[in-house]
Amino acid sequence: MHFQGEQTINTSVEKVWAFFMDPNAVAQCAPGFQSMEILGPDHFKPKLAIGVGAVKVTFTLDVTLEDMREPSHAAMAAHGMAAGSGVDMRAAMDLTPESATTTHMNWTADVNVSGTLASMGARLLEGVAHKQTDNFFSCLREKLEAAPA
Amino acid sequence: MTAPIIRGMGHSVKRKEDARFLRGKGTYIDDVKLPGMLYMDIVRSPYAHANITKIDASKALALPGVLAVITGKDLDAAGLAWMPTLMGDKQMVLPIDRVVYQAQEVAAVIATERYIAADAVALVEVEYEPLQPVIDPFKALQADSPLVRPDREQKTNHIWHWEAGDAAQTDAAFQQAEVVIQQDLYIPRIHVSSIETCGCVASFDKVAGKLTIYMTTQAPHVIRTVFSLVSGIPEHKIRVISPDIGGGFGGKVPVYPGYVIATVASLQTGHPIKWIEDRSENLQADSFARDYHISAELAAKRDGTIQALRVKTLADHGAFDAAANPSKFPAGLFSIITGSYNLDAAHVEVDGVYTNKPPGGVAYRCSFRVTEAVHTIERLVDRLAQELHMDPADVRFKNFIQPEQFPYKSPTGWEYDSGNYPAALRKAMEKVGYADLRREQAEKRARGDLMGIGISTFTEIVGAGPSHTFDILGIKMFDSAEIRVHPTGSAIVRIGVQSQGQGHETTFAQIVAEELGLPVENITVEHGDTDTAPYGLGTYASRSTPTAGAATAVAARKIREKAKHIAAHLLEVSPDDLEWTDHQFQVKGAPSRVVTMTQIAFAAYTNHPQGMEAGLEAVDYYDPPNLTFPFGAYICVVDIDRGTGAVTIRRFVAVDDCGNIINPMIVEGQIHGGLTMGMAPSLMEAITYDENGNMQQGTLMEYLLPTAMETPAWETDKTTTPSPHHPFGAKGVGESATVGAPPAIANAVVDALSHLGVTHMDIPITPWAVYSILEQAGAAEV
Amino acid sequence: MTTQSVTLTINGEPYTAQVEPRLLLVHFIREVANLTGTHIGCDTTSCGACTILVNGVPAKSCTLFAVQVNGADIRTVEGLEQGDTLSPVQQGFFEEHGLQCGFCTPGMMMTATALLARNPDPSELEIRQAISGNLCRCTGYVNIVKSIQHAAKQMREAQATPTPVTVGAEAGQA
Amino acid sequence: MIPNTFEYVAPTSVLEATGLLQQHGADAKLLAGGQSLIPLMKFRLASPAYLIDLQHIPELTTLEERDDGLVIGAMVCESALESSALIRSRYPGIAETSAVVADPLVRNFATIGGNLAHADPANDHPAMMLATRATIIADGARGHRAIPIDDFLVDTFQTSLNPDEILVEIRVPRAAAHTGSAYTKFERKVGDYAIAAVAAQLTLDGDTCTQAGIGLTNVGPKAIRASAAEQFLIGKQMSDEAVIREAARLAAQAAEPTADLRGPAEYKRNVVRTLAARTLRTAAQRARNAS
C-alpha cells in the first residue's frame, strides 16, 4: 500500500527537524503508542497497539532512521511481527521552508502487511492503514504547532 | 431351493457406513485420542519469500506445558529437513534459513494441551528479512527474476517441459486450415477444502520399536513406503491407519510437512503427537489444484469439421513440484485434451514453473489435469460454433468419435475403451428440451433479457493405470483386494484403496455379493490399515472401481473357481457338469440340484475334498490393461441479472456414462457432489495472491464454498456403455461431473452474451465481469 | 490461569468441569464430554460442522464459549437416537443418501432437527435456506434436501398415526 | 484457532455492566452475540483481558412498539427480529435486514446491538437504521443519552459511544401511515458480506413521497446516508420510473466504494444504483399497501 500527502506546518524547518530527532516526541503520534525502548540515536523499538474498534494487535516495531539529510530529508524503516502477521513500512519526508515560520512537508509511506492481518482484514486494511498513516502525519503537525514557540 | 437375495450389482443398497456416521460414531482424525498424547501446533511464515535470520523459542519453552520447539535445524541434524515429493523434486519439511511461500511451516511447538500449544506458537519469535517474492509465473521465467529455488543446480524457475502428440503433423494441419480459433484460458488456482482439514496422530512405541500413524490420507500404503524410505525405519515397523476421512478430493494425497514433524516429535518424545490443521492453515498451505495458463488453437474446415489442436501451457507449481501425478506424467493426463472429438492431429506442451506460492498441483475432485483439458477443448468447440454461426450441438455431432470407432486411438496416444457420445448428447437435449430453450432464448433476447444454454460433452480418463506406463515413485499403479469367506457364509474383504465418502464399505460388498452369491449384509469391507489391508495405491483420480473394484471381482472369481470344485464334491458330479446360475451352482439341466455359496463355505472348512486346501479365500493384485474413459453430456441453462451481472443456474441436466453401475444411488450422489464442485470454481472459488504473495482467500469467508442456496437442483440421467476390458464393465464416476460441469456453465454464460460480441470468459465468472460486458454493450439495467 | 465451573446438560446427562473462560463450547463437548460426533471445520463461523442445539436453538458451537452457555440444555448428534430408534432426520438421511463422508452430517442433522421442530412441512426453498449455514462438500445438497423432506413426511405421518419409527436393517448395525 | 486467555464476567444489570466497563477500561470488551468478536479473538486479532457478557441483562431484550415508536433492546437477536410478527408487518425493512445477516445459524445468536456497535461498514443494520432515522440509546457512568444514528456511526469499527458506555436500545420512530421499508442485499453467497446493499423507507401521501430515508451498506468506510437522493424524492410521484431512476442515480453517487474481492469500485457503485431502484420500488409498494 502506498500513501502520500503534504501539509504546511506553522513552525520553522529547524524546529520541525529537531522534533523529529526526538523519538519520544514522534512516538506520541504513533497509533496506539504504549511504550518505547531506545537502542540508539537512530534505532528504536516502540510498542504499539495497532487497530481500530474491536480489532487490536500489539506490535513491537523495530524502527531505524535512514538517509538523514538535515534539515530537508528523513526516512525510516519499520518492521514488526504479531498475531501471525508481519508489518513492514518505509516512510520518507521532505521538508522545505516556506518562510521563517512555516515549513512544507511532503511525505510518502509504503506499508506492507502480511499474514493473518492481510488475509483476514484485506477488505478493510487499506482504508484503516490509510487513515492511520494520515493521522500520524497530521498529529505531527498538531504537536509541532502546539509546541511553545 | 430359491436363490439367495444378494443385492449385488445395480442395487441401490443403503450404505453400511452410515450406521456410525448418523450416530456421530465415526472416527475422524481429531477423534483419535491416545494415552499420554501431546499436541503439536505450527509457527508459520507471514512472508511469501524471506530469509530467516533468527528463531528464538525461549519464551515459548518457558511456558508451562510446552515440551519442545522443533526447527529446521533440529530436523537437519536428523537429515529430515527436506523430503522427496512424488514428482522427483524435494520439499522443505521445516526451513533452515529461508521461507518460500506464505504460511509455510517455520517451527513446531509440542505441548501438553491444544490451547497451550497455540499460546506457545505466538511466543516463538522469528526474525525475517523479506525478499522479493515471485508471484507471476510469466515473470518467473524472465532472466531478472529472483530465484525461488537457489538450492537447485539449475539456476532458473523453469522446472520441466513436457509434450505429447505430433508437432509437425499438427503444424501442417494448421497451415492448411480454413478456420483457426485461438483462445487463451486461465484455469485458476483452487483448493479442495474438504470440510475436515488434514491432521495426524503419530505414535511411536519405543518398546516394540513400532511407529503407528493415524493420518488423513487417501493413500496409506504409499505413505508407509515413503516414510520407511525417508526415515530408515523398516516398513514392517510402520503402520499407517486412515481413519474415517472427512472428504479428500485429492487434497489428502500429498505428504504434508506436519505429518513428518509430528512423526519426528513422537520418535523423539516417545509420546503420541496429535496435529490438526485449522482452516486457514489448510487453505493457505495445503496443496492447491489447477493454476494452468493455457494458450490453445483449433484448426477446422468451414463446414465445422475439426482437424487439429495446438496447445501451449504454463503450469504454476508453487515453490516445490509436489503435484500428485504418476511419475512419468508431470502434466498428468492433460493430453486427453482432444476430448470426445475425432481429430487428425494434436500437439500439447506444458512448462512447469516455480513461484513463491504453496506447492501442489493436486486434483480437485478430478483425474490428473483432466479438468483443465476438458475446459479447453469444450470452450474451443463452442468458439468454433460461434465463429461459424453453427449450433454448438451440431458442431459436436459433426465431430464426435463415432460408436463404431472404439477402441479409438487419439492423436496424443490414448486408446479410448468405449463410448457412445451422440447418444448421451441426444438424451441430454431431450431431457432439457433443447429446441424449446433455444426458442425461449430468442424471444427473451428480443425483449433484452439474457439467458444462455451451454453444452459440455466431455471424455474423462480414469483408473490409472496399466503398470507399464503408470507408477508413483516407481510403485506400479495396480490395486488390490483380499477376500476371505467364513465357514457360515459371511465374508471379509480388504482393499488397497481408501474411502473418503464414496461408500466403499457398501459398493465393494456388492461386488463380492454379485460374484459369490452371498447376501450383501454378510460382507464386511475393511480398508485404510496398512497392517491388515493388501498393498494398494489409494483412492484418487476415480480409480477405486476401475482398479480395486476389478481386483475384488477377480479375487471373487478365483474363490468361485475353487467353490465350483467343492460344489462338485458336494453334489457328487464333475465340476464340468456345473453352471453358475442365479448366484449358485446348479447341475446343468437339473435345476433342483443346487448348492449355495453358504453351503460351499461351510464345506470348505468342514467337508472339503481330500487333496484340496481347506478354506475359501483369495487375493488379487489387478493391473488394468488400459484406463477407462467415462463420458457425459451436460447442458446448463443460465439467467443473467442485467442489474448486477449475477448468473443463476436455472437448470442443469447431466447425462453420465460410467459403464456398468454397482450402486445407482451412490453414483447419483457422486454426480451431485461432482457437479457442485464443478460449479464452485466456475462461478465462485478462486485463489489469488497480492503482489507480496499474501493469499487473499485464507478463510471460508473469502474462499467461497457454495451453500444449498447457490447450488441448483441437479437433474441427472445416464447411458450405459460398459468398459470392454473391466471385469464387470465399470469405468469410475467420482470426478466426471467436476470435470464436465465447468465448460457447460462457462459456455452457457458466453452463449447468453454472445450477441453482444462475447466469445470467451475465464472462470470464475464473477458478476462484475459479466456486468462490465453489459455496461460496455449498453445492455445493463439502468 | 482463572477457571470457572461450567455445568451443561448434554443429551440429558449432566457434565461439570472447571474450565478456562476461553474454552470453546465445541471443545467442551468434544474434549470434556468426549462426544466427538460434533466436528470442527473452520475458524470463522462459516461451515456449521459444529452445529448443536442450545436449549433447542441450533448454534455453531465453535463460536460460543462454554461459560456463555453455563446451565444450558445441549443436544448433539449423539442425542438424536432414542433407544435403538433413529430419529426421523437420521432415518431420512439414511434412506435418501443424504451423507457421503459424514463429516458435515451431524451439524446438518441438528439444523434439520431444529427446522422440523418449528416447521413440520417446509418447502424445498425453506429447507435450502435453513441449511445455508451448513456447508457440505460431498453431496451437492440435493439428497440432503430429500432427506429432510423424507423426515418431515415421516414425522407428519407419525403424528397422524402414532407408530414408532422402525430402524432399517443396515442402519441398525453399529 | 484458539483465543488468548481472558476473564469472563456476566453482569445482570446495565448498572453492573457499566461499572465493570469503568473498572477495566480499555482492557474490557462487551460480548453480545459474539458472532463477529469470537472469530476475531480466535485469530488473536482481538485479545480483551475482560469479556463482559451482556446476555443476562433482562432490560436489553425489549422488543415492543410504543406510542413514539419501536424499541429494540440491544441483545435482541436477528432470528427474533426476522420472525417477529410486529417487525414483519410494521417494519418489514428491518425484518428483511435481519433475514440476510450472515446465515440462519449465526442469526440465532447475532444481535442487532452487536451489529450496530461493531460498526463494520459491511454490517447490515446501520444502513437500515439510517433509512428509518433511528436513535441509539446509550447508558454509562454519566447516565442515559440518545444519539441520532448519523452521529453514532463515526468510521470503520468506530462509533460515538464512550469507552464506558453500552448501547442499550435502538429507537425507531413509529412508522407513519403509508410508510414502507425494504432492504436489498447483493452478496456473493449466503453468509457473505454484501457486495452492496440498500435500505430504504418511504412515506407516501397517495403517490407522493413525503419522507424518504436511504442507507447504503459496504460501499464506504461506514454505512452511508444517500442524502441527495432522499431530498430529491420529497414531493415526487413514486410511480414515475424516471423518479426512481434519478433517485437511484443519486444514491449511487453517494457511495464511496473501494475495490476489493467483492468487485471493482465502479461496479459496486452501479450495483448500488440497481439495488436502490429495486428497493425504492418495493418500499413504495409497501407504503401504498400499508394502513
Angle made by CA atoms B96, B43, B214, in degrees to the nearest 5: 95
A116, D45: Cβ pair inside 8 Å?
yes
D157, A123: Cβ pair inside 8 Å?
no
Look at residue C168 in the predicted model and tell me its pLDDT. 45
DSSP reduced 3-state for B425: helix
CA distances to A45, B668, C29, D55, D217 from C24, rounded to whole Å, are: 35, 38, 9, 17, 31
CB B718 within 8 A of CB B744: no
A56 CA: distance to closest CA in chain D (Å): 5
Look at residue A52 in the predicted model and tell me its pLDDT. 84
Mean pLDDT confidence for C21-46:
97
The beta strand positions in chain D, using DSSP E, are: 7-9, 28-31, 50-53, 63-66, 69-73, 135-140, 143-148, 153-155, 158-159, 166-173, 179-187, 194-205, 208-217, 224-225
Neighbouring chains to B with at least 3 Cβ pairs closer than 8 Å: A, C, D
Q: How far apart are CA B340 and CA B416, in angstroms?
A: 10
Which residues of D fall within a CB distance of 8 Å from B710?
189-190
Look at residue C164 in the predicted model and tell me its pLDDT. 52
Look at residue C47 in the predicted model and tell me its pLDDT. 98
Higher pLDDT, B483 or A112: B483
Calculate the average pLDDT of chain B: 96
D190 CA: distance to closest CA in chain B (Å): 7
Angle made by CA atoms B30, B35, B39, in degrees to the nearest 5: 50
Pairing outcome for strands B360-362 and B288-289:
parallel
Q: Which of D40, D267, D273, D282 to mutate to test the interface with B (most CBs of B within 10 A)?
A: D267
Nearest by CB to residue B698, choosing from A81, A113, A120, is A120
Q: How far apart are CA B288 and CA B359, in angstroms?
A: 7
Among the ranges given (A85-94, B140-149, B569-578, D248-257), the one the predictor scored with the smallest mean pLDDT: A85-94
N-terminal to C-terminal alpha carbon distance within chain B: 77
Asked if residue B44 has pLDDT above 50, the reply is: yes
Interface confidence: ipTM more than 0.90: yes
D7, C63: Cβ pair inside 8 Å?
no
Look at residue C170 in the predicted model and tell me its pLDDT. 45
Higher pLDDT, B360 or B261: B261
Neighbouring chains to C with at least 3 Cβ pairs closer than 8 Å: B, D
Mean pLDDT confidence for B523-539:
93
Asked if residue C50 has pLDDT above 70, the reply is: yes
Pairing outcome for strands D194-205 and D208-217:
antiparallel
Q: Which of B694, B697, B702, B703 to mutate to test the interface with A (most CBs of A within 10 A)?
A: B694
CB B542 within 8 A of CB B735: yes
Q: How far apart are CA D264 and CA B562, in angstroms?
A: 70
Which residues 77-116 on chain C approach chain B with CB closer than 8 angstroms? 77-78, 80-81, 86, 90, 93-95, 97, 99-106, 109
Q: How far apart are CA B418 and CA A91, in angstroms?
A: 66
Task: Classify D139 in phi/psi space as left (phi over 0), alpha (psi -120 to 50) or beta.
Answer: beta
Q: Please give the single-letter amino acid code of residue D232.
A: F
Cβ-based burial of D163 (10 A; exposed 0-12, middle 13-18, buried ≥19): exposed
Q: How far apart are CA B69 and CA A20, in angstroms?
A: 41
B122, A83: Cβ pair inside 8 Å?
yes
pLDDT in tens, A22-35: 888 888 898 889 99
Q: How many beta carbons lie within 10 A of that of residue B522, not counting itself?
A: 21
CA dihedral of residues B461, B463, B466, B470 (deg, nearest 10)? 80
CB D45 within 8 A of CB A121: yes
A122, B702: Cβ pair inside 8 Å?
yes
Asked if residue C173 has pLDDT above 50, the reply is: no
Which residues 699-738 on chain B approach chain A with CB closer than 8 angstroms? 699, 702
Q: How far apart are CA B628 and CA B617, in angstroms?
A: 28
Q: Report which of A47, A14, A19 is spatially closest to residue A141, judged by C-alpha positions.
A: A19
Q: Which pLDDT band holds residue C174 (cuts at 50, 70, 90)? A: very low
Q: How far apart are CA C157 and CA C159, in angstroms?
A: 5
Which residues of C fall within a CB distance of 8 Å from B678?
none
Residues of B designated as active site: 218, 365-366, 735
B682 CA: distance to closest CA in chain D (Å): 13
B24 CA: distance to closest CA in chain C (Å): 4
A53, D36: Cβ pair inside 8 Å?
no
Mean pLDDT confidence for B192-198:
98
CA dihedral of residues B429, B431, B436, B438 (deg, nearest 10)? -40
Question: What is the b/e burial string over B402-414, where b = at least 16 CB atoms within 10 angstroms of the residue's CB?
Answer: eeeebebebbbeb
Could you tell me if C63 lies within 8 Å of chain B, comparing CB atoms?
no
The beta strand positions in B562-672, using DSSP E, are: 578-581, 584-587, 590-595, 617-622, 631-640, 647-657
B151 CA: distance to closest CA in chain D (Å): 33
Ranges of chain A whose pLDDT falls below 70: 148-149
Q: How far apart are CA D88 and CA D63, in angstroms?
A: 13
B644, D44: Cβ pair inside 8 Å?
no
Instruction: Give me the residues paired with residue A57 across strands.
Output: A50
Q: What are the backbone angles phi and psi of residue C19, rounded to the nearest 5°?
A: -130, 160
Give B237's DSSP letter. G
| DSSP characters over D243-271 | HHHHHHHHHHHH-----BTTB-HHHHHHH
Longest dimension (CA), chain C: 56
Give B29's DSSP letter. G
CA distances to B67, B639, B642, B781 from B778, rounded to whole Å, are: 66, 18, 10, 9
Instruction: Give me the residues paired with residue B107 across strands.
Output: B43, B71
Mean pLDDT confidence for B502-528:
96
Nearest by CB to residue D105, choosing from C20, C24, C51, is C51
Q: Report which of B339, B631, B653, B633 is spatially closest to residue B457, judged by C-alpha positions.
A: B633
Give B62's DSSP letter. H
Q: Which pLDDT band holds residue B61 (cuts at 50, 70, 90)? A: very high
Peptide bond just before B361 cis, omega within 30 deg: no
Q: How far apart are CA B551 and CA B649, in angstroms?
A: 40
B46, A81: Cβ pair inside 8 Å?
yes
Q: Could you list the pLDDT tens digit for every one of the 291 residues in chain D?
A: 999 999 999 999 999 999 999 999 889 999 999 999 999 999 999 999 999 999 999 999 999 999 999 999 999 999 999 999 999 999 999 999 999 999 999 999 999 999 999 999 999 999 999 999 999 999 998 899 999 999 999 999 999 999 999 999 999 999 999 999 999 999 999 999 999 999 999 999 999 999 999 999 999 999 999 999 999 999 999 999 999 999 999 999 999 999 999 999 999 999 999 999 999 999 999 999 987
Nearest by CB to residue B115, choosing from D2, D103, D273, is D2
Q: How far apart are CA D18 and CA D57, in angstroms?
A: 12
Q: How far apart are CA B747 and CA B28, in angstroms?
A: 39
Look at residue C169 in the predicted model and tell me its pLDDT. 43
Give the nearest chain A residue to D154 (CA atoms). A53
CA distances to D79, D98, D149, D180 from D88, rounded to whole Å, are: 12, 10, 22, 11
pLDDT in tens, B411-449: 999 999 999 999 999 999 999 999 999 999 999 999 999
**Helix axes D265-289 and B767-776, enclosed angle (nearest 10):** 90
Q: How far apart are CA B238 and CA B222, in angstroms?
A: 12
Q: Report which of C39, C31, C36 is spatially closest to residue C105, judged by C-alpha positions.
A: C39
Look at residue B212 in the predicted model and tell me its pLDDT. 98
- The DSSP element (H or E) to which A66 belongs, if any, is strand A55-69
pLDDT in tens, B282-298: 999 999 999 999 999 99
Asked if residue C171 has pLDDT above 50, the reply is: no
Look at residue A148 in the predicted model and tell me its pLDDT. 64
Cβ-based burial of D70 (10 A; exposed 0-12, middle 13-18, buried ≥19): buried
D190, B115: Cβ pair inside 8 Å?
no
Q: List, in order, residues 6 or more apart from D177 with CB less than 8 Å away.
A: D203, D290, D291
A123, D193: Cβ pair inside 8 Å?
yes
Which residues of C fall within a CB distance of 8 Å from B502?
100
CA distances to C53, C55, C75, C154 from C114, rounded to whole Å, are: 8, 11, 11, 15
Q: Which of D4, D27, D36, D43 to mutate to test the interface with A (most CBs of A within 10 A)?
A: D43
